[in-house]
Structure 1
């Protein structure tokens, strides 16, 4: 899915846990000092170009921005590389196919799920030998999880690195139902863990306050008019049904059995509830027609009581509410499920996700330099730079520890353009990164967002509400990771489905069917819901749902075998 990189650094969450990043024990990620640690001047003898070299970089999640902020300038100083970043304009569906058709590739490519097309076309190179010969930092970072970078059982080569943290631990949730802090305060801090309780709270508050700031109160608003249908309509249904986020799939992580998720009974139950919300006037009637800007504007006005969305999609609205002095109209995440019998998987541990990453093109004239750049980005020096910024400008050293300047910390939490303008946090995604649970060679968290920092960053009204619930962080409300099984397959939305395969074609058909038919079912008269849902299931079966389930199951099982460490 597309992401706005200007706010993605805010999703980078951390703990001060110590993890061992590789089997040889020579990585500073585990907190042990090593005389040959990656990122030091003794690291290797790679030459930095006498004059900076510009590498072209296609970033499928990119945006128009020059590589000239303070952090970018420091990266250039350390690597001799300037990035000329290209990004998809007006959607990315055709960008990679056009590259392949023309044979004109940038030096570096972040193609997300389209990497299989580039591999098949010979547009990207294998990285195995480069990793072995000159990838000390990457080997140390990935350690015994490096198999998760491999392409497939048939071709277990490594073509890409980066995107997701190797060791992550959540301090925040995202993508769940969220409700205004003011609603919780006004209703006396009710427990809300089921859809029934969620609906009751929205109903009661909306009856008390039919208007907010002179405009009609909207109990629940979604954004189902564009690709965000997937994250505000489709994904919340899975969380409510007790499923982890596997994109469009439901996966048994032990057996690998995989089913197109909208065939699962819990999804039907969820959307029947949402249909009832619409019939009762509790769902914003424009949820499937308004634009992103209109959606954000509504939330920014303070009259939207709840949403079901990713945090990164809401930050503009959050900043607007804070700027307008309506901090109490910002949101708290809820562990809402269909019933108490379902377990919320918002804190699910997916392990290192593998999947997406940055590749080097087969036509690049600077392949070794491009690789050295990616390897340097995995070093301790780089990880500190991209997470913390520049010493003396963004942080200082106090008693041997990095401490953010108060101005930096404040800007991180109130200025939506801070990361974009400063570069702090901007280059974490989609580049190689240690993850939010990693620590440096001095034992300090590699990310700025430790548990203590997350607490310190909370708004006063957040602290007030959390205190009333006897919690310190919002994640305290959710089932904890040690209560949930760790995923053995990562997350299915990261799988690289072969381009042009029956599976890819059928899934696209199924996605088109469900987005259209579920929208119709939600907006229909409740008496028509069951018939509409049954008709959709028949349509999915006719489109090849059973075949898709079989092929996706095989792909998942291949991933489990590929990641077992037994594949040569």
Structure 2
């Protein structure tokens, strides 16, 4: 109950903050949105894109010029700085303080804001859009139907495992493994990878928890959805199933045998990637497409062309795939403040970025830096492959004014996208009602505690049964009853 009270106080503080911000709006229009030098000021907050980031400042300066030239939209995009640290937490502190931008990028923490009616329903804007409605994929549409406050038009966000080709080619069972990637063959591949001369110190590293491992292995153990259908037709939570117990026993074996990075619990995304480039770890996972492309470019830059990445398939067992796709809501994305006086103009910026010219701008970077026009063709530079990414939308079919001389994505990145599409499946998860959130959080923390201790050998695998009993007492039975009424 303490957490619920804390949430209520925070929510009341946020509402009061919005009221205070509204009262002071007339005296602060130049810095808080409104008109500035004849332009409409749109305040925007996005992870890593504060005014102290020169690349972000250049991006939005150029975006303002493009909006004026292509859409006759005269705006001043004011970037809001978020302190270093956990972005979701720091952003919510910013919002609670009453500093409310027009456009807000969320990476978690949005649901409690939306429940206070402080985020705009994007449905009518998208329906009336010039460009965005044509970019939506079926999973985007389903997520918006369930939760119309976040928009994030990107390819499937499945994460795919990658390894250096120069090491992969020295693994005796590599081709056998690719043809039949069972969990046993995955284990054998890892053991042989560790035996490669001057090879990695551990087989696979992940960022802080087992989520990334699950992308590789979970479905092979029969965990194809969050709620598993039992023989009697009822549903049970996958993390308290016998299939989960088998999976954790496998992860424990990986840990004991030095395959799973012994420091995986303290790794962050950047230290995980550094260990990969430095040759300390053999395999990491990255979001298919552009992230794999960035990994590939950086790996070749550090270790030479022979270290081009090979994309590995998901483990094969009862099912095969890179974890089911959640369609309850976007896990991240752009929102518009319901308190903004410039909602329509804010959305026009998002819509422009879905236009052919907006896509050229967002996807290709700056001419002369990330691409050059050579013989009336677009030639992407090494800098494009090494650092550029689309900040906003990524249409599956990019139409450019001149033909592309070089492909947008490297072969490994394209392969990762193909595998993500091939193994697409939908999850049956649902948003947890507010009255159950505090219990759910406690149950998830209980799972993480037991899973970590089992994997690292602090607890025997049989303690999983004790976890299940504790989980049920902590609210699991109640949530399971709700799930069986909710899932159609």
Q: What TM-score, normalized to structure 2?
A: 0.72
Find the aligned partners of 2:372 and 2:407 in 1 and give their Cα distance: 14
Instruction: Find out whether 1:118 has 2:90 as its counterpart.
Output: no
Compared CA separation, residues 549 and 238, structure 1 to 2 (3 A) = farther
- 1:178-236 CA-to-partner distances (Å, cap 9, x unmatched) read 34423331234432112211222332343464x55xxxx423242354xxx15334444
Find the aligned partners of 1:242 and 1:49 in 2 and give their Cα distance: 57
What is the SS of the residue equivalent to 1:55? strand
Measure how far apart 1:107 and its partner are: 1.2
Relative to structure 2, which stretch is displaced further, 286-295 or 179-188? Answer: 286-295
Instruction: Find out whether 1:531 has 2:462 as its counterpart.
Output: yes
What is the SS of the residue equivalent to 1:385? helix
What is the SS of the residue equivalent to 2:211? helix
Matches within 5 A, 1:520-559: 520-524=453-457, 529-552=460-483, 557=488
What is the SS of the residue equivalent to 2:275? helix
- What is aligned with 2:153? 164
Find the aligned partners of 1:444 and 1:204 in 2 and give their Cα distance: 43
- What is aligned with 2:362? 386
Find the aligned partners of 2:37 and 2:240 in 1 and give their Cα distance: 58
Compared CA separation, residues 62 and 49, structure 1 to 2 (3 A) = closer
Answer whether contact 1:178 1:307 (CA < 8 A) is retained: yes
- 1:522-553 CA-to-partner distances (Å, cap 9, x unmatched) read 1217xx63322222222222222233344456
Compared CA separation, residues 72 and 334, structure 1 to 2 (3 A) = same
Aligned mate of 2:203, from 204, 209, 220? 220
What runs of 5+ residues in structure 2 fail to find an aligned partner? Answer: 1-34, 68-72
Find the aligned partners of 1:533 and 1:306 in 2 and give their Cα distance: 28
* RCO comparison, higher one (Cα < 8 Å, 6+): 1
Instruction: Find out whether 1:377 has 2:377 as its counterpart.
Output: no
- What is aligned with 2:395? 435
Measure how far apart 1:277 and its partner are: 2.5
Answer whether contact 1:388 1:395 (CA < 8 A) is retained: no
Aligned mate of 1:506, from 432, 436, 439? 439
What runs of 5+ residues in structure 1 fail to find an aligned partner? Answer: 1-47, 420-424, 459-471, 558-568
Measure how far apart 1:275 and its partner are: 1.3
Measure how far apart 1:76 and its partner are: 0.3
Aligned mate of 1:137, from 128, 131, 138? 131
Answer whether contact 1:136 1:375 (CA < 8 A) is retained: yes
- What is aligned with 2:301? 323
Matches within 5 A, 1:233-272: 233-241=213-221, 243=223, 249-250=226-227, 259-272=236-249
Compared CA separation, residues 205 and 550, structure 1 to 2 (3 A) = same
Measure how far apart 1:90 and its partner are: 1.7
Matches within 5 A, 1:344-383: 344-346=320-322, 356-383=332-359
Instruction: Find out whether 1:72 has 2:72 as its counterpart.
Output: no
Measure how far apart 1:54 and its partner are: 3.2
Measure how far apart 1:279 and its partner are: 2.5
Find the aligned partners of 1:479 and 1:131 in 2 and give their Cα distance: 26
Q: What TM-score, normalized to structure 1?
A: 0.63
Answer whether contact 2:82 2:91 (CA < 8 A) is retained: no
- What is aligned with 1:38? none
- What is aligned with 1:466? none
Answer whether contact 2:215 2:323 (CA < 8 A) is retained: no
Aligned mate of 1:280, from 243, 254, 257? 257
Find the aligned partners of 1:92 and 1:257 in 2 and give their Cα distance: 38
- What is aligned with 1:195? 183
Measure how far apart 1:272 and its partner are: 0.9
- What is aligned with 2:282? 305
Aligned mate of 1:184, from 147, 157, 168? 168
Instruction: Find out whether 1:454 has 2:426 as its counterpart.
Output: no
Compared CA separation, residues 512 and 197, structure 1 to 2 (3 A) = same
Find the aligned partners of 2:267 and 2:118 in 1 and give their Cα distance: 39
Answer whether contact 1:177 1:308 (CA < 8 A) is retained: yes
Answer whether contact 1:67 1:73 (CA < 8 A) is retained: no
Q: Number of aligned pairs? A: 437
Find the aligned partners of 1:125 and 1:208 in 2 and give their Cα distance: 54
Measure how far apart 1:269 and its partner are: 1.7
- 1:247-269 CA-to-partner distances (Å, cap 9, x unmatched) read xx3477xxx98653322333322
CA RMSD of superposed structures (Å)? 4.3
Find the aligned partners of 1:61 and 1:547 in 2 and give their Cα distance: 40
Compared CA separation, residues 514 and 355, structure 1 to 2 (3 A) = closer
- What is aligned with 1:54? 41
What is the SS of the residue equivalent to 1:545? helix
Measure how far apart 1:354 and its partner are: 5.2
- What is aligned with 1:410? 382
Find the aligned partners of 1:54 and 1:316 in 2 and give their Cα distance: 33
Compared CA separation, residues 272 and 324, structure 1 to 2 (3 A) = same
Find the aligned partners of 1:285 and 1:143 in 2 and give their Cα distance: 39
- What is aligned with 2:104? 109
Answer whether contact 1:52 1:76 (CA < 8 A) is retained: no
